Amino acid sequence: MGEISVLDSNIEHMVRMAILHIIQLGTKHGVFKVISRGATQREVLDSLDIPNKKLLLEFLNTLKAIGIVEERDGRLKLNGFSYRLDVPKNHYEALLPGWVAVLEEIYRMVDYAFITPTHPHVLMDFDKDADFWDIRMNTDFAALYREVIAKTGGIDQGSSVLDLGCGSVSPYEFGKRIGYDGLYVGVDYSPAILEIARARVEGESLPVELKELDLKLLRPVNEYQTTVMSFIFEYLKPEDYRRVLRRALGTLRPGGSLIILEPFRDNFRHIEALEFFERLNKDFKRFPAMSEVASLIADEGFDASIKRLGRSLLKVTLKP
């Protein structure tokens, strides 16, 4: 199996496992029990002993989006949802254990978030919990997607790369790959994440520059051969996509390419299950659709080719 399809099947499995955990949460917190009595949404919210009503409401919306629950005549109903979690031989060999351990931690955080969103066991804030994020970006799964990004974007010895929302691990990993005669510029708005990134890079004399900046304020400079946006669109409001894409493409020199990696919502059914967990991070918005990103780029009138690679990767290349 090629690396891109391994990436896709891991994301697919993340979504499938997330559904299972949604069902587990609904059972554990008595949500299904109340719903099975034919309650209204209001009644479900009021009768359950869950202090964080906002999260509970999000949970109900997730159940509806996945199709576990539907609203008819003002009442919520369980609609006999069933889905399969396949363990086919060829896929299973490709599954990476690292993300499972991390997502398991996140499933557990929901119980505490149901009490209060600021509970100390909820570790999803980029600044306050940069350590957890760093651990998350250090898994075998992250190593795989970085490999895929590097190969797709031609990131190698001597490359010049701009990484938007770089996190704390990519600067070191890509920096090593690029070597001393290249340039890697990482942009991130979290000072805590950048502090960890710096600690990794320092003393290694890598060609890495790190800038604390909201990527929405980026200046187009026409300098880079490759610009990377990996797991970033999910933190942007859809109304900002156009502006951000225009600026991101504006950072490239002719012939350069923009690599976008996301679990695109139009390619992964029931992605709302995974979104429920990711939303424990207050900056998370939603996963973008591949079609919406691709058509915005086409709209902007850049002379560029757009390649859809598998289900989670877009490569946009400017005319040389």
99, 114, 126, 277: which one binds ligand SAM (CB under 6 A):
126
C-alpha span between 153 and 8 (Å, rounded): 18
Least gap, CB of 142 to ligand SAM (angstroms)? 6
Least gap, CB of 105 to other proteins (angstroms)? 7
CA-closest candidate to residue 68, choices 268, 267, 270, 279: 270
Contact mark string toward ligand SAM, 72..111, x via CB under 6 A: ----------------------------------------
**45: partner contacted, choices other proteins, ligand SAM, none (Cβ within 5-8 A by kind):** none
Residues binding other proteins (CB under 8 A): 96-98, 100-101, 104-105, 121, 123, 127-132, 134-135, 139-140, 192, 195-196, 198-200
Q: Are 212 and 194 in contact (CB under 8 A)?
A: yes
Terminal Cα-to-Cα distance of the chain (whole angstroms):
32
Q: Is position 170 an interface residue for ligand SAM (rule: CB under 6 A)? A: yes
Q: Residues binding ligand SAM: what is the number (CB under 6 A)?
A: 21
Residue ranges of alpha helices (H) inside 67-204 are: 89-92, 97-113, 130-136, 140-153, 170-178, 191-201
Q: Which stretch binds ligand SAM (CB under 6 A): 32-40, 58-66, 184-192, 301-309?
A: 184-192
Exposure class string for 115-149: b at 16+ Cβ within 10 A, else e: eeeeeeebbbbbeebbebbbbbbbbebbebbbbbb
Contact mark string toward ligand SAM, 272..301, x via CB under 6 A: -----------x------------------
**230: partner contacted, choices other proteins, ligand SAM, none (Cβ within 5-8 A by kind):** ligand SAM
C-alpha span between 309 and 299 (Å, rounded): 20
C-alpha span between 204 and 198 (Å, rounded): 10
C-alpha span between 31 and 60 (Å, rounded): 9
**Closer to ligand SAM by Cβ: residue 32 or 284:** 284
Q: Is position 230 an interface residue for ligand SAM (rule: CB under 6 A)? A: yes
